[in-house]
């Protein structure tokens, strides 16, 4: 009985937790996709995170297979959505590219990661 009451109360508390609370930013979706293959020349890399980012301390870079940075070094947040970090790309030759990101969520938690995508002819 006590257990049941405790479990119910906890579930209720979890559901009622303040929506404004903040957390680590996880990568929710990426374009080009994580591990994906792109036909054509992607104009940019867009990373959507699970929450808003702090622009000054959030970075994304794109490297070719030789480790050379190939993005246009104009990273920034999408003006319409502070959870989206983007960087422009020049026309890319076919090959495998690596996206490296490190972001600071607005509650000062850092997360980082990387992934590869392929540009097919």
Partner 1 sequence: MRRHISKLALFTGAALWAAASGAFAHGFAGKRFFPATLATDDPFVADELSLPTVSRRKTGGNGDEPATLETDTSVDFTKRITPNFGIGLGGTWVNQKPDGGDTVRGFDNFAANVKYQFLKSDEHETIMSVGVDWDIGNTGAKRLGPDTFSTLTPTFFAGKGFGDLPDSLPYLKPFAVTGTLGLAVPTRSSTTTVADDGTETTTQNPNVINVGFAVQYSLLYLQSFVKDVGLSEPFNRLIPLVEVSMQRPTDGSAPTTGTINPGVLWAGRYMQVGLEAIIPMNRATGGKNGVLFQLHFFLDDLFPRSIGRPIFE
Q: Would you count residue 62 as binding partner 1 (CB under 8 A)?
A: no
State yes or no: cis peptide before 62, omega within 30 of 0.
no
Residue 7 CB, shortest distance to partner 1, in Å, is: 6
Smallest CA-to-CA distance from 96 within 60, 61, 62, 64 is with 64
Of 44, 48, 52, 54, the one binding partner 1 (CB under 8 A) is 54
Q: Would you count residue 109 as binding partner 1 (CB under 8 A)?
A: yes
> And the tokens for 103?
């972001």
Q: Which residues of 55-69 are buried (b: 16+ CB within 10 A; e: fewer)?
A: eeebebbbbeeeeee
Q: Would you count residue 52 as binding partner 1 (CB under 8 A)?
A: no
In the complex, the residues that contact partner 1 under the rule CB under 8 A are 2-3, 6-7, 10-11, 14, 17, 21-24, 26-30, 33-36, 50-51, 54, 56-57, 104, 107-116
């Amino acid at each position: 009985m006590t257990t049941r009451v405790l479990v119910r109360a906890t579930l209720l508390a979890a559901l009622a937790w303040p929506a404004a609370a903040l957390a680590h930013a996880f990568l929710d979706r990426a374009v080009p996709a994580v591990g994906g293959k792109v036909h054509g020349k992607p104009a940019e890399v867009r990373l959507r995170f699970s929450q808003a980012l702090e622009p000054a301390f959030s970075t994304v870079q794109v490297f070719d297979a030789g480790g050379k940075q190939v993005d246009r070094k104009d990273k920034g947040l999408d003006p319409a959505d502070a959870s989206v970090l983007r960087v422009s790309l020049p026309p890319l030759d076919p090959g495998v590219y690596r996206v490296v990101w490190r972001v600071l969520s607005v509650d000062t938690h850092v997360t980082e990661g990387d992934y590869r995508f392929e540009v097919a002819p």
